Amino acid sequence: MGRFAYDIRGVYPDEVNEELAYRAGRAIALFLKAKNVIVGRDCRTSSLALKKSLIYGLADQGCHVTDIGYCNTPMAYFASQKQHALMVTASHNPAKYNGIKITRKGVEPIGEHNGLGRIEKLLDKCHYPLPRTKGTVKPGHLLKDYVKYVRAFVRGRYKPIRALIDCGNAMAGYVVPELLKGLPIKYELLYAELDGTFPNHTPNPAIPENTKDLERAMRKGRYDIGIAYDGDCDRAYFIDEKGNRIRPEIIEILFAKELMKKGESLVYTVNCSKIVKDAASELGFKAHPSPIGHTEIPRTMKKHKSVVAAEITGHFYFKKFKYADSADIAALLMLKILSKSSKKMSELIKPYQRYATSEELNFRVKNKQAVLKRVELAHKEMHTKRIDGLSVDAGDYWFNMRISKTEDYVRLNVEARTQQKLLNAVQTLTKLVQ
């Protein structure tokens, strides 16, 4: 059985396969009490077969299905403004994974807090109630309407800039050419061919090794900005003109300056850099911490009526997009900000590069809860919070440690006032974990 935290996900075919997809179709139909559902898929080699089985399950449970074929996750969110939407994808995970993302009508991603547990129980049933009539299946097309909708978020004039975009052989190669068509953006694509084996690198730009090719190309000096997408286009990572990775928290600050007025609020996850709170205070914004995950952050945003939110993995959420995340909106917005500015990308971000920040460190350990307790005990005299995992402010350094809900890891993010203090903190914490 696959993991159930933010969505249904696991290794194909051992954990997620056609049988599970069929039963998921019936279970999701029952849970949503759905009459009409939109279904799409990414380009993974197993996605077509899983989508067919998912649709059979939905139809056998009486749902009328619109099959939109290829799509990305933001397209599924767009579709869910009017109907329930399902997407066969494992997002940023390696090619051997697959899964199903579920979004209830009204752009409500279904996670462990609002229904995945019930769906999992329904999946285990041997028999399902028979509907009065079986559902139907028809083809649909969404890309053109989706692009028009997204482009409306970033209306305005662009001056010509040069962008290099790494599609990772995933769904960005399907969407980005349509997204940028007609704009004065001179762009080139890396790995644009859809290939669900991901032959060049895993489409997860949060991991530094996966943006190395893009960084090398940027250092040749022919581009103003680099953009790396993940597998289903709900993450984007940005590279400056010198070939350096840019922290998503700093991008969020630039977005806030573009979109927000004084007194409005933004949301950041508990593993984000301290610069978000600092900059928000300086700019007259309110900043609110949130648990991590695409089913958690919209809840925090809605609570505070926040305009924008970000995760360190490159997710960007927008109030105007019904609090959902979209790498497409993030990419267009950053291109617009840069095109309006007289500064280079490295100059735009420089004021916010104040702290030494680690990339996310992942540790595979046997007893994850014991590790968290050991680290908490070692820092018992320091300020701690338990919003999501363990967050500690030790003065010269601060960190968040949590158990991953999608992979078998303890995740650690550390920040400090200087590079040396960061190195010392990482060394100390690594000893406590291992």
Which residues are the active-site residues? 91
Cβ atoms of residues 178 and 146 within 8 Å: no
Cβ distance 280 to 115 under 8 Å?
Answer: no
3-state SS of the chain: helix, strand, coil percent to 5?
Answer: 35, 25, 40
How many Å from the N-terminal Cα to the C-terminal Cα in the chain? 29
Residue type, 382: M
> What is d(CA 379, CA 376) in angstroms, rounded to the nearest whole number?
5
The H or E element that residue 199 is part of is: none
Strands 161-166 and 185-190: parallel
> If DSSP codes are grouped into helix, strand and coil, which group holds residue 405?
coil
DSSP assignment string, 340-386: H-SS-HHHHHGGG--SEEPPPEEE--S-HHHHHHHHHHHTTTSEEE-
List helix spans (H) across 35-171.
47-60, 73-79, 116-123, 143-151
Produce one character per residue of 20-58: b if its CB has 16 or more CB atoms within 10 Å, e if not.
Answer: bbbbbbbbbbbbbebeebbbbbbbbebbbbbbbbbbbbb
